[in-house]
C-alpha cells in the first residue's frame, strides 16, 4: 500500500508540470522553445566482467518542461551474474530533475559551467525470483525503488553534459537492490 501511495505522489508531481508542454510563457515574455530544442537523450551504461559480472543498458529520452525542470523515462536492462547464480533484469525508470543553481561560477568563481540539481527517480524492475529466493513460487519478482538526491552537471560542448549524482533509496523493500548512497555517472546530449 505504501509503495502505491509513493508511486501516485510521484506521478502527480510529474503531472503538475505538464502545462509547460502546451507552450506556456516562460520568464521574459518569450514563448517556450520548440519541443525539438527541449528534447534530450541520455542514460546509463555499465560493464563489469569477472567473478561478479554486471552489464547495464538504460537509455533515456527526456524533455525540459521549464528552463530548470526536466523529466525523462526509458527502458532498463541488466544482466547480473555472481558465484551463486545469474539473472536477466528488465523494466523501466523515470526521473524528475530540478536545477537549483544553473551556473556555480556565478557564486564561486571556478570558471566552469557546472550546475547543481535535485533528482528524484522511480524505477520498477523484474528479476528472476530464484536469484533472491531459492524455491520461490513465481518465476519473476517485481522490485520498485524510489530514489532521491542531488547532483552536479558539467557541460560538455554546446548541448552535452556529464552528470554526477548521489541518490538515496526512500522506500524500504525486503529485496533491496541499491546501497545507500547510490553513486551514478551519466551523460545527456
Q: For 140-150, what is each residue's pLDDT tens digit?
A: 888 899 999 99
Q: Which residues of 52-89 are buried (b: 16+ CB within 10 A; e: fewer)?
A: eeebbebebebbbbbeebbbbebebebebbeeeeebeb
Angle (CA) 131-84-49 rounded to 5° is: 100
Q: Which residue has the higher pLDDT, 1 or 37?
A: 37
Q: For 40-77, what is each residue's pLDDT tens digit?
A: 998 888 899 999 999 999 999 999 999 999 999 999 99
- Grade residue 118 by pLDDT with cuts at 50, 70 and 90: very high
Whole-structure pTM value: 0.75
Residue-level pLDDT at 131:
67
Answer yes or no: is pLDDT of 125 > 50: yes
Residue-level pLDDT at 22:
38
Per the CB < 8 A criterion, the answer to whether 128 and 87 are in contact is yes
The average pLDDT across 151-157 equals 91
Residue-level pLDDT at 133:
66
Residue-level pLDDT at 91:
95
Amino acid at each position: 500500500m505504501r509503495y502505491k501511495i509513493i508511486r501516485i505522489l510521484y506521478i502527480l508531481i510529474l503531472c503538475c508540470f505538464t502545462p509547460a508542454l502546451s507552450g506556456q510563457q516562460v520568464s521574459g515574455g518569450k514563448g517556450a522553445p520548440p519541443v525539438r530544442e527541449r528534447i534530450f537523450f541520455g542514460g546509463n551504461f555499465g560493464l563489469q566482467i569477472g567473478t561478479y559480472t554486471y552489464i547495464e543498458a538504460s537509455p533515456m529520452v527526456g524533455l525540459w518542461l521549464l528552463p530548470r525542470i526536466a523529466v525523462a523515462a526509458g527502458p532498463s536492462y541488466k544482466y547480473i551474474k555472481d558465484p551463486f547464480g545469474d539473472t536477466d533484469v528488465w523494466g523501466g525508470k523515470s526521473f524528475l530533475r530540478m536545477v537549483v543553481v544553473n551556473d556555480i561560477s556565478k557564486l564561486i568563481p571556478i570558471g566552469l559551467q557546472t550546475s547543481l540539481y535535485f533528482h528524484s527517480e522511480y524505477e520498477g524492475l523484474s528479476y528472476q525470483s530464484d536469484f533472491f529466493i531459492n524455491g520461490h513460487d513465481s518465476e519473476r519478482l517485481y522490485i520498485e525503488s524510489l530514489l532521491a538526491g542531488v547532483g552536479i552537471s558539467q557541460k560538455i560542448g554546446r548541448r552535452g553534459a556529464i552528470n554526477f549524482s548521489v541518490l538515496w533509496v526512500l522506500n524500504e523493500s525486503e529485496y533491496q537492490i541499491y546501497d545507500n548512497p547510490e553513486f551514478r555517472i551519466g551523460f545527456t546530449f
